[in-house]
A = this chain, B = another copy of it.
Amino acid sequence: MRQPQMSLRVGLPVFVVVTQLFIVVLFALFVTYDDQTDAKLQGNETVAMDNALYKDYPFFADIQVMIFIGFGCLLAFFRQYGFGGMVFNFLTATFAIQWAILVQGYFQFSHDGKIHLGVTNLINAEFACAAVLISFGAVLGKTSPLQLLVMALLEIPVYAVTEWAVLTYLKINDAAGCILIHVFACYFGLGVTFVLYRPRLNEGHAKEGSSYQSDILSAMGTLFLWVFWPSFNSVLALKGDDQHRAVLHTFIGLSASTLTAFALSSMLNRTGKLTMADIQNVTLAGGVAVGASVDMMISPAGAYALGMMGCAACMLGYRYLTPFLARRLRIQDQCGIHNLHGLTGLISSTAGICAILVASEEVYGPSMYETFAHMAPVEGDPKLLELQEQIPGLQPGLGRTALEQAIYQVAALLSTIVVSAIGGVITGFVLKLPYFGSPPDELCFDDDLFFEVPHNYEAPITFSNKCRPTTEDSAA
C-alpha cells in the first residue's frame, strides 16, 4: 500500500480538533436559544402547536435527506471513489453547517450580542452548506478532505457576507436561492478549480470512469434530490399560496427537464443510447431553472417552459462548454457544475427578472406586495393603508417600481458572480499551499489514498478488461 500521509494523519485531526474546540467555545459564548426553543419565553398564551418547529421541521427533514443522502450518493459516481464521494460529502457538509450556524448567525440571527438558534437557522445553514457542496462538485476527486474543510472554512464567510449584503442592501427576491446559492456556488467552485488546474488530467485519467454499481448509486442520489427539491425551493417562501406555488413550479420544472434530458441524451449520442451522467445531472436542471421565480405567478406553463430551457442549456453545456472550459480556459469542472448551476442559474435569474417586470396587481391581487415585499408602498403612503385593509399586517416596503426591483436583481446577480469568483480564486490559492495534502495526479479519484479499502474495491473494472466475457452468458 501507499505510504502514510502526513497531511492525513496529522493535518486532518489537528484541523478538526482545533476548529471543534474553537466552535464549541464560540457556541458557549455566543449561541443561545431563539424564542421558539427557550423554555423561559413560553408564556401562558403560548400554544405548543404554534411553535415554528411544526411549520418548518418537515421541510428541514427533506432538505437533510437532500444534503446528506442525495448529494452523498450523487457524488459517489466514480468507480473507485465511492467512499470519497459519499463520505467527504458527509464530512464537508457537517463542518459547513456548524460553521454557517456561527458565521451566518452572526450576520442574520444575532441580537443582544447572541445568536438565537432554532430550526430556521439550521435551514439557512443547510442552504449555505448546499453552496459548499455544489462548489465541491467542481473539484471532486482531486482534493484531500483537509482541502475540502479549508474550502468550507473560507467559502462560508464569503457566502454569508454576500448573502447578508445582498439581502440587507440590495433587497432582492430570491426565495429558492437561485442567485445566492446556485450562481454563487458555481462561480466560487470554478474559481477554485481554475487555480487548482491539473494539465495532465485533460488527457483523461484511468480511474475517472464509473462502474455499473456506482452509476446506479449516483442515480439514486439524483432521485432523492429530485423528489425533495420542491421542499428545498419552497421552504423559505412565504407561507400559504407562495409556498404552494413554489412546490408546484419546482415539481413541474423538474418534470419537464427530466423528459427533455432523456430526449437530448439520446439525440446527442451517436448510437442513440442514453448516457447515465445525463440522467444523473441534467434531469435536475428544472429545479434550478425555476428557482428565481419559483414563488411568483409564472403560470404552470411558464414553469414547464423554464424546465425545458434550463435542461437544454445544461445539456449543451455538458456536451460542448465543459470540454472547452477545461482545454482552453484551464477550468476543469469535474461534475459540470457550471452547466447545472451556472448556465441554468443565469436562465433562472433572467426569468425571475422578467417575472418581476410583468408582475401586476391584476394578476396577484393585493398580495403582490407580500410576494414582492420591497415593492410595497413606504410607511405613510395612503396606498399602504388601503392595502392594509385588504391584507391586515402588510409591512411597509420601499415603494420600488418593478423596473427598480429588476435593476436591483441584476445588480445582485452581477455582484454575486464577481464576489464568488474572486473568493473562489483566493480560496484556490490557499488550497494550493503544501500543507493540505493535495493528492498527486495519479492518485486522484482513488479511495485507497484516504481510506482503508476492502480488497475488491478495484476488482470489477479490471476483470472486465482482462477476461472480457464471451457472448454466451450463463443461465440464471
Contact = CB atoms under 8 A, between A and B. Distances in A.
Interface stretch (A116-124, A337-345, A423-431): A116-124
Majority SS of interface residues in chain A? helix
Given A39-B368, A476-B208, A262 B16 contact: yes
Nearest to A79: B454
A235 to B, nearest CB: 11
Contact of A453 (B212, B367, B466): B212
A244 B119 contact: yes
Interface stretch (A67-75, A132-140, A327-335, A405-413): A67-75
16 contacts: A13-B264, A27-B299, A31-B299, A33-B297, A48-B238, A79-B456, A83-B219, A90-B283, A208-B476, A215-B454, A276-B451, A455-B464, A459-B469, A461-B474, A462-B473, A466-B467
Copies of this chain, complex-wide, total 3
A217 interface: yes
A247 to B, nearest CB: 6
A219 B98 CA distance: 21
A380 interface: no
A226 B68 contact: yes
Given A212-B456, A239-B51, A452-B273, A39 B223 contact: no
B69 A224 contact: yes
A474 B365 contact: no
A433 interface: no
A36 B241 contact: yes
Interface in A76-90: 76, 79, 82-83, 86-87, 90
A241 B90 contact: no
A220 interface: yes
Interface in A86-114: 86-87, 90-91, 94-95, 97-98
A368 to B, nearest CB: 7
A430 to B, nearest CB: 20
A227 B8 CA distance: 27
Interface residues of A, number: 163
Contact of A223 (B8, B31, B90, B243): B90
A167 interface: no
A348 interface: no
A231 B60 CA distance: 11
Given A65-B227, A79-B454, 17 more contacts: A3-B271, A8-B272, A20-B308, A40-B364, A44-B392, A54-B55, A61-B231, A64-B227, A72-B223, A83-B219, A97-B255, A207-B473, A209-B454, A274-B451, A458-B469, A459-B469, A465-B474
Contacts of A217: 216
Given A274-B452, A469-B459, A53 B244 contact: yes
A326 interface: no
A49 to B, nearest CB: 6
Contacts of A434: none
A248 B8 contact: no
A269 interface: yes
A228 interface: yes
Interface in A22-46: 23-24, 27-28, 31-33, 36-44, 46
Contact of A39 (B5, B122, B297): B297
Contacts of A456: 79, 211-212, 460-461, 463-464
